[in-house]
Structure 1
Amino acid sequence: MLPFRQTFKDQLPLYVFVAVLFLVGVLFGALMVNALSLEQQQDLAGYLDHFFVNLHEGSEGAAPVSFGSVASLHLKWIGLIFLLGLSVVGLPGILVLDFLKGVLIGFAVGYMVGQYSWKGLLFALVSVAPQNVLGIPVLMMCSVAGIAFSLYIIRYRLLTQRGGKVTQPFTAYLTTTCIMAVLMLVVASFETWISPELMRWVAPMLLPDGSF
């Protein structure tokens, strides 16, 4: 426990930086909603109305995706961060992924709130927020671990030329990534079996007029 606390304390500036970058992405994504053209807004509104009807009626069009596909998507995201962290040139890529994740969440929540007001906020809370309560910290920990490993390579292998041992930092990095991958399976489980039921509970409130 003590090594973890010390590591967290040492990496706290990185956690703050990644968190701020993510929040900037969320804000940017929410602002992107205002940049949509009228035609794009109408297309999205039509798609969501159709989705809510299918979700309420339990039709095939609203059937939840499989656990395998959801888990695969999350694990690919974790794996990409891990691979980017192994190289110095991949460090900016980790930051881009964190920003992009924030943009996606900000856009989804911003559009739902803008289109459906408090009902949209409620739907966003049950469809986006639950899995991300764990998912976002997991991605942040993976990102910080990747950034820290890249900085270690830069500091000890490139700048000082001291040739510091890379085995222990790499082992710690790999272990952290594996633990986060297991936690992502928990996120995928929630997203596959719990979130759809929560969305189905809220969907009737957002049905287009005359559909309920």
Structure 2
Amino acid sequence: MRRHPVKSMIAVHMREHAPVYLFVIVLFLMGVIFGAIVVNSLNFSQKQDLYYYLTQFFGQVSKGNIASAHDMFQQSYFHNLKYVALMWVLGISIIGLPIILILLFLKGVVVGFTVGFLVNQMGWQGFLLSFVSVMPQNLIIIPAFVIMGVISVSFSLQMVRNQFMKRGHEPIFPMIMRYTMAMMLISVSLLVSSSLEAYVSPLFMKQVIEMVGHK
């Protein structure tokens, strides 16, 4: 424990918040499943319209006619940062607890819909495209959002307990400082996911699109 303080802190955190992690992960997976189901509920015209815009985008990717990697990085990072910051604010507001859960569910819906639509329209080629375009950055984004969601939910619940318990509650300022520090660490991790989305995923996508186009 003394030799590995960070590992021990993580272990304690996971043990104390295991039920919340389980609930949040299940909620996110339900969102993924719901997003995949929504794909099948689209009519033929809606699928054709979406597929048209998708093929146009893939054509631009293969020709290199997309936004610069720097612009993509900025857009991706600030979009994800706003998402995390919103969860931070909702956690402090106490009444934002249900909205945090809705945000996590919607993130799952987006991932499920994106992968489901590509596979539905393009089969194994769509799966390969979703693997290189969606998976790299989401390997970091999804755990980051789940952790932030758990911390926000736990903080909100602690705030509620402090409101109703007159004795033995923890001082609010140290709680907010730890909560803010956690958000800052997660924000730093999002730099890596945005780098993958801006600099790595487009290269993989271009290779896959060219490979699929030759077949």
Offset, 1:47: 1.1
Offset, 1:205: 4.3
SS in 2 for 1:86: helix
The one-letter code matched in structure 1 to 2:75 is S
> In 2, Cα distance between the equivalents of 1:138 and 1:109?
20
> In 2, Cα distance between the equivalents of 1:102 and 1:66?
22
1:131-210 equivalent positions in 2, closer than 5 A? 131-157=137-163, 159-162=164-167, 164-207=170-213
Aligned length: 207
> In 2, Cα distance between the equivalents of 1:161 and 1:42?
60
Contact 1:30 1:109 in 2 (8 A): yes
1:43-87 C-alpha deviation (Å, 9 max, x unpaired): 011111212222212234x76543212111111111001001101
The one-letter code matched in structure 1 to 2:74 is G
Hey, what does 2:128 align to over in structure 1?
A: 122
Give structure 1 stretches of 5+ with no counterpart. none
> In 2, Cα distance between the equivalents of 1:54 and 1:175?
40
Offset, 1:178: 0.4
Offset, 1:206: 4.6
The one-letter code matched in structure 2 to 1:28 is F
Offset, 1:164: 3.5
Larger CA deviation: 102-111 vs 40-49? 40-49
Hey, what does 2:73 align to over in structure 1?
A: 67
> In 2, Cα distance between the equivalents of 1:44 and 1:3?
46
Offset, 1:14: 0.6
Contact 1:21 1:98 in 2 (8 A): yes
Q: Alignment partner for residue 37 of structure 2, among 24, 31, 35?
A: 31
Hey, what does 2:55 align to over in structure 1?
A: 49
Instruction: Report the identity percentage.
Output: 38
TM-score by length of 2: 0.91
1:96-118 C-alpha deviation (Å, 9 max, x unpaired): 00000000000000000010111
TM-score by length of 1: 0.92
- The CA RMSD measured in Å over matched residues stands at 1.7
Give structure 2 stretches of 5+ with no counterpart. 1-5
The one-letter code matched in structure 1 to 2:111 is I
